[in-house]
A = this chain, B = another copy of it.
């Protein structure tokens, strides 16, 4: 076998052996991701139970491998064989592996199996409930996911709050206390901005975006935009799904999904830009880190910084549309030839409270996250029962955004996350928002022509900066 031929120095042997085992684990994870992608985009409706079993087996085997004695021993030997002058990346690899192994060992194999099966059942119940707009159909599954998540947190362990253990799965070096602190500031700042907008005397309209737009033309335009951004179709593709996402099966196969609305241009256009940001991150992780824990993104916050950067800081900017708007007008002459660039730019930047998080404007977006953060804390702490979620949701929306959805499909059934047990995930969206601005400003300082380039629809300097400073490093550095 290619991977286990004799190494230069005997001391390198356990590390090579470890890398081979980690590659198998990564390959299994990638296979599971493909099964999930297929489930959302291609799978025939009657296949759900069998897919659940397949995913459960993969999860079980991944867990077995990560917690196996042989991996543990190889890790220990590799740690002992660590010599002076070892490469940083090998040192980090051992730390990340150690972290992965000890975390997995805290979860009993039976729990992993129960968890995976419950996630699958809950996910399908959510799809059904959402399309029927019938939350109570989903409620028992949600309650199960809450209870299993609480159990998961107990297994994983925490100092201050069970939510810490869950949040840590998505964002390293963060905590419930940190989020609360950041959100307190963010809440005040957001209120200030909203007050200024309300008192500005100007009233923007997104009416130009709410016309009839042919889906195929939308798809072609959005694909053209992200191709210019630098998304590689040689190593990816776009499909359709109810809830858009990006998913990676190595840096040479990173796929995104989009959803289309005939009567509203924004979801597909900005959704595709958003997912392309995630995808370009994954496509840019160094080849040498593939099939190892180093090949994962640094954190979900960093991930979100990339999607928000391309969606908002590029995709909703004036320079970009100075270049791109004539092309959009060409694609939709009937709808847009009478709409000026200024009106279009205003339309895509209207700030207005809305029900759907993924369609929210940049200012109110974080309020949607705060609602979810507070509700998931209540759920995990046991103060809120799943069956009572709709009422609590609507109350929070009234409180934060001044509006209350008339249906649960527009309310607490809109997001996929909780159905999959992803409690602790939402705050990474707001963290990503904040980081996107930090990173964009750093890139701008290094490459002042970035805005000028956008006008010419050139993005290579911006992408190269992100590639060099963020993407290629995978998990080599911590988010901080």
Contact = CB atoms under 8 A, between A and B. Distances in A.
A54 B35 contact: no
A453 to B, nearest CB: 26
A247 interface: no
Q: How many copies does the complex hold?
A: 2
Contacts of A23: 53, 57
A31 B44 contact: no
A35 B23 CA distance: 17
A402 interface: no
Interface stretch (A85-93, A234-242, A381-389): A234-242
Interface of A: 1-2, 23-24, 27-28, 30-32, 34-35, 38, 42-47, 49-51, 53-54, 56-58, 60-61, 110, 113-114, 117, 232-237, 249-250, 252-253, 255, 290-291
Contact of A60 (B24, B35, B253): B24
B58 A30 contact: no
Given A24-B61, A47-B252, A252-B49, A31 B30 contact: no
Label chain A's interface by main secondary structure.
helix
Nearest to A114: B1
A208 B471 CA distance: 57
A57 B42 contact: no
Contacts of A235: 44, 46-47
Contacts of A44: 233-237, 252-253, 255
Given A27-B58, A34-B34, A47-B250, 7 more contacts: A30-B50, A38-B38, A44-B253, A46-B234, A46-B235, A50-B253, A53-B291
Contact of A232 (B46, B236, B250, B252): B46
A113 B24 CA distance: 12
A291 B52 CA distance: 13
A395 B88 CA distance: 61
Nearest to A60: B24
21 contacts: A1-B114, A23-B53, A30-B50, A31-B32, A31-B35, A31-B54, A34-B38, A44-B233, A44-B234, A44-B236, A44-B237, A44-B255, A46-B232, A46-B235, A46-B252, A46-B253, A47-B250, A53-B250, A53-B291, A54-B249, A61-B61
